[in-house]
Amino acid sequence: MRWNIDKIERRHHLQIAVVVMIIVVTSIWIPTKIDILQYNDFITNGTSRVSTFVKSMDMFVRDNFKIYNNSPIKSEFGIYDVPSAAAASSLETVNQGHTNSSQPGLIVGTYPVGVAVNPVTKKIYVTDEFSNTISVISGTSNTVESTITVGNFPYGVAINPFDSRVYVTNRGSNTVSVIDGLKNKVTANITVGKNPVGIAVNPTTDKAYVTNIESNTVSVIDAITDKVIGTITVNPSLGGSY
């Protein structure tokens, strides 16, 4: 009789152990399966977002830089300066000055390279490097309203929207031309370092900063007096003053 009782108890303990194992395995397996499903969804959504981002960036590059695809002349440094996305979009209105170009757009000077937009006056300024001019485009009517003669080989352009003054680097003249954006006239030519290309304006401090490639310097201009108030030497081993 005792042997039968022991047998029944062992069987009962075995059944309890099996039930406990089932509960444990089920509790582990269910969240793991859910985690896997959530992980798969995360990977799928993440891949989709990355794919969308890559496609968007590809379209941005194609749309904003196709202006240069048919250019017969390549930059000696292999780069083109586009100050902002708004300025890049404005390049769509320029067709390199080729009268037989199949690209829609406005005719400006020869080899336009730099562009800047004044969001206040809605004017677009394009540097025509081989014409030594600045083309002023009305963003309202999409027409060239003025052509301003500046120094030799104008390249970079920047705007102070507070007073509508326009600053243009002239690579061949080693100068910066200052333009009154309301009158479309040059008011000053400031001598800077050798081969100035890049330029940026801080409208809050009324200072302009010019990168001089051959001098490996940055010229600091007081935009009120139109004078160079400082020259900063940069390290050419770190890329110079490009």
Helices (H), the chain: 2-65, 85-90
Note the pLDDT of residue 24: 59
The 3-state DSSP class for residue 125 equals strand
- Is the pTM higher than 0.75? The answer reads no
Beta-bridge partners for 117:
124
Note the pLDDT of residue 18: 65
The whole-number average pLDDT for the span 119-136 is 96
Residues 21-55 have pLDDT tens digits of 666 555 555 555 555 555 556 555 554 554 444 44
Note the pLDDT of residue 215: 94
Residues 129-163 have pLDDT tens digits of 999 999 999 999 999 999 999 999 999 999 999 99
For 81-238, the fitting CATH number among 3.30.420.130, 2.130.10.10, 3.30.1330.20, 3.40.228.10 is 2.130.10.10
Contacts of 206 (CB under 8 A, 6+ apart): 160, 222, 223, 224
Q: Is the pLDDT of residue 93 over 70?
A: no
60 pLDDT band (50/70/90 cuts)? very low
The whole-number average pLDDT for the span 194-210 is 96
Q: Is the pLDDT of residue 169 over 70?
A: yes
* Cβ contact 82:71 at 8 Å: no
Note the pLDDT of residue 105: 78
Beta strand spans in 39-195 (E) = 112-118, 123-128, 133-138, 143-149, 154-160, 165-170, 175-180, 185-191
Share of the chain above pLDDT 70, in %: 55
Could you give the C-alpha distances from 116 to 49, 153, 157, 170, 232, in angstroms and in order?
32, 17, 6, 15, 25
Note the pLDDT of residue 106: 86
Shortest CA distance to 115 belongs to which of 101, 100, 132, 134? 134
